[in-house]
Structure 1
Amino acid sequence: MLNGFLALLLCQLLGEWVVLATSIPVPGPVVGMVILLVWLIFKKRMPDSVRGVSEGLLRYLALLYVPAGVGLMLHLHTISLYWLPILISLFVSTFITMVVTVLILKVMNKKLNKNGAR
């Protein structure tokens, strides 16, 4: 379990370093998740230690919404000034996510049908 936690933290640290070195406008933990994804793709399997730690963290994911909710209440006045751009960006990003998901599912479905899987 400690090895899995160390792997997750190392990926996050590498992501922070990449962001600092390149000044890209993406949070370090997001870059760390991409690094973890690439590592898992090359490894071609999920190590049990990483799986255990990930499942343990996912159990408590709902607790991470509490600080976000407090932030919303703290900055309610600022949000009320920009409610229309926020609403538009939420709808546009949700729509784009849905379209990309459908396109990926279509491509994957074609590949599965081509390989003879059902």
Structure 2
Amino acid sequence: MLYAVATLFAFQLLGELLVRVSGLPLPGALIGTLLLLLGLLFYRRLPPSLEAVAQVLLQNMMLLFIPVIAGVMLEFDHLRREWLPFVLACVAGAAITFAATALTFRFLLQRQRSAQADSEANTTEAS
């Protein structure tokens, strides 16, 4: 379990370093997450310890948003002046997240159905 937490921190650190060295206008955590995704795609499976840590993080996701919400509350004066870009960013971000989740879910369902069909075809051929 400690290995999985260290892996998550290592990818976030790597993302932060890449952003600082390259000057990319993206958050280091985002780059680290993309690098983790590429690593998992290359590895072709999710290590059980990483899955367990991810489940704990997902179960406590709301606690991770408290600092962000507190930070937004400190910027109410700024938000009052620039509310439109903030609202647009929130709506667009939610729409993009919703679309990406729906497309990923659809892809995984199709892949599962394809695997089941292949399994059934192999079973009938063997009999």
For the superposition of Structure 1 and Structure 2, which TM-score range results when normalised by the shorter chain?
0.7 to 0.9
Query: Identity over aligned residues, as a percent?
Result: 31
> Which stretches in structure 1 are left out of the alignment for 5+ residues?
none
Change (3 A) 1:95 1:3: closer
Structure 1 residue aligned with 2:48: 48
Structure 1 residue aligned with 2:124: none
In the TM superposition, residue 35 of structure 1 has moved relative to its aligned partner by 0.7
CA distance in structure 2 between the aligned counterparts of 1:59 and 1:116, rounded to whole angstroms: 29
Secondary structure of 1:24 counterpart: coil
> Which stretches in structure 2 are left out of the alignment for 5+ residues?
118-127
Change (3 A) 1:69 1:49: same
| CA offsets 1:59-88 (integer angstroms, 9 cap, x no match) | 221112211221222111110111122223
Structure 1 residue aligned with 2:24: 24
Say what the alpha-carbon RMSD is for the aligned residues.
2.9
In the TM superposition, residue 44 of structure 1 has moved relative to its aligned partner by 0.7
Change (3 A) 1:8 1:95: closer
Secondary structure of 1:26 counterpart: coil
Structure 1 residue aligned with 2:88: 88
- Matched to 1:43, the amino acid is Y
CA distance in structure 1 between the aligned counterparts of 2:66 and 2:60, rounded to whole angstroms: 11
Change (3 A) 1:61 1:79: same
Q: Which has the higher contact order (CA 8 A, sep 6+)?
A: 1
Question: Which has the larger Rg?
Answer: 2
TM-score by length of 1: 0.78
CA distance in structure 2 between the aligned counterparts of 1:66 and 1:84, rounded to whole angstroms: 23
